[in-house]
Amino acid sequence: MPELPEVETVRRGLEPSMTGAVIARADVNRPDLRWPFPDKMADRLTGARVLQLRRRSKYILADLDTAETLLIHLGMSGRMTVSGDPLGQFVHDHPSLIKHDHVVFHMDNGARVTFNDPRRFGAMDLFETATAEAHPLLNKIGPEPLGNDFNETHLSKVLKTKNTPIKTALLDQSLIAGLGNIYVCEALFRAGIDPTQKAKDITNARISALVPIIREILLEAIEAGGSSLKDFRQAGGELGYFQHSFRVYGREGEPCATRDCASAIQRIAQSGRSTFFCPSCQS
């Protein structure tokens, strides 16, 4: 599932073609994805101007001049691609629509934005902008790790209440928004923290070091266009390439990348997910 860097990469890719433009026509080609689409979604979107595109955790939010907000979640295999962009961001013309092109936005500037989702774990919703923070998918999300509310004080406070492993705690969206398996594994490796250690037992010194490391990894991944493992593509159809910078994720049995470390990367299961780590560097 795309994590914060992938969703932010898609948001930035969509922005030149969508922000300030009108949705001249919205085509909704099936009744649902993970959940049913909102009532009359195509009609409500057609003619609306996109005021801004923003991101909250792993969701893209399009605020419209109709006082409604479109929420988009990419799910496991969803992708949003742009064609025919008049600003010259993308060089290809509109391709023929293909299977699993479930929602299509025809923008008044000539761009076309297509949401394709083979596995249909994605989702869209449409609701009053004024009530966005109270939306069931958004109202329990913690602070953004790239924002000012995410700091040593916040992380220390929430971790000290958790008797779960630090890896599990960092995946809790109510504590920190947008982090997923890939970037938690990579952050814990850089911080030298054992993923099985109880969150409440992490020292303040290590928490202080972990905060900037999380930000650093996320920013590097955004700069690299995210990580493409299976389905993820940028808005122009390109692959992300941060996966080439993984130090532990997906590297089970391979030598640790740390100089003079003789250990191999190990994988264990935690809360139903694979955790990759170096047993020597993370202790």
Q: Is 198 a catalytic residue?
A: no
Contacting residues for 261 by C-beta, under 8 A, at least 6 apart = 255, 278, 280, 281
Q: Which string of DSSP letters, residue by residue, matches 41-90? A: HHHHHTT-BEEEEEEETTEEEEEETTSEEEEEE-TTT-EEEEES-TTSS-
* Paired sense of beta strands 23-28 and 101-107, if any: antiparallel
- Token pair of 60, please? 């893209």
217 contacts 228 by C-beta, under 8 angstroms: no
CA distances from 144 to 54, 164, 247 (A): 12, 21, 24
- Contact by Cβ (8 Å): 276, 270: no
User: Would residue 160 show up in a list of annotated catalytic residues for this protein?
Assistant: no
- Tokens 């993820």 correspond to 232
201, two tokens: 């037992």
Q: Does 273 qualify as catalytic in the annotation?
A: yes
* Given 11, 56, 58, 233, the catalytic residue: 58
- The 8-class DSSP code of residue 153 comes to H
Q: Does the annotation count 186 as an active-site position?
A: no
From 34, 206, 215, 273, active-site residue: 273
Contacts of 36 (CB under 8 A, 6+ apart): none
3-state SS, one letter per residue, for 159-225: HCCCCCEHHHHHCCCCCCCCCCHHHHHHHHHHHCCCCCCEHHHCCHHHHHHHHHHHHHHHHHHHHCC
Q: Is the dihedral of CA 218, 220, 221, 225 positive or negative?
A: positive
Positions annotated as catalytic residues are: 2-3, 58, 273
